[in-house]
Chain A
Amino acid sequence: MINILSNICIGLGLVFWFWGTFPLLGERSVLFKLHSLSIADTLGSMSIIVGLLFRIPREWPLLILALISLAIWNTVLGYVLAYCSSTGGENA
């Protein structure tokens, strides 16, 4: 039962990963790609970590730390990248 739940979480995370990464290939603006990447990638990674947590519950402090740092860092990073790319100009 726990195993099936864990597999579902990891599979969901992988679907999110592909969903968030495929727009990277298109010819869209940086902000559009950043939006899809930061939402879908973070949700996918968190879902994978929850799946791993179901699988090995005794390593919970490590995985909870990963979960928290993922949530905080990716949010801050999204803001920083959007700020830097929009005030610095598009053409590098």
Chain B
Amino acid sequence: MMDWVLLAMILALLIPIYEACQDEDIWQKMLAFASIATKTSMMILVVSVLRDDWMIGVVGVLILSVGNAALMLLAHVLRRMNLGRMNLGRMNLGRMSER
């Protein structure tokens, strides 16, 4: 039973991987990344229950609760980059008033 659950999970994991591979928009890639991050930590949890291994379960929960922070940091850096590209004039005005 649990083997079939894992097979279905691997199939579900392949969908966002393919999406991240073929889509050129960076935000779509970020969505795929978010999906994969949740799915992999859920798989770790399922395997830990399958093997009755407490140690792997703790790692899975830690990755689940801390791993998403990377996603948010990266999203903010990307947003700053796109802002710089779009509102160049406004940012330059700000820098001139600093001078």
CB–CB under 8 A between A and B in the complex? yes
Interface residues of A (CB under 8 A from B): 7, 10, 14, 17-18, 21-22, 24-25, 30, 33-34, 37, 41-42, 45, 48-49, 52, 55-56, 59, 62-63, 65-66, 69-70, 73-74, 76-77, 80-81, 83-85, 87-92
Min CB distance, B30 to chain A, in Å?
6
Q: Is the interface of B mostly helix, strand, loop or mixed?
A: helix
Given contacts A33-B31, A81-B27, A81-B31, whether A52 and B15 have CB atoms under 8 Å apart is: no
Contact partner of A90 (CB less than 8 A), chosen from B16, B27, B39, B60, is B27
**A-B interface pairs (CB < 8 A), number:** 127
Q: Are B65 and A49 in contact (CB under 8 A)?
A: no
A21-B12, A73-B65, A88-B81 given; 10 more Cβ-contact pairs under 8 Å? A25-B18, A63-B45, A70-B64, A74-B38, A77-B34, A77-B68, A83-B79, A84-B79, A85-B79, A88-B80
Given contacts A48-B42, A52-B49, whether A24 and B16 have CB atoms under 8 Å apart is: yes
> When each residue 24-38 of chain B gets 1 if its CB lies under 8 Å from chain A and 0 otherwise, what string results?
011110111011001
Min CB distance, A42 to chain B, in Å?
8
Interface residues of B (CB under 8 A from A): 1, 5, 8-9, 12, 15-16, 18-19, 25-28, 30-32, 34-35, 38-39, 42, 45-46, 49, 52, 54, 57-58, 60-61, 64-65, 68, 71-72, 75-76, 78-83, 85-86
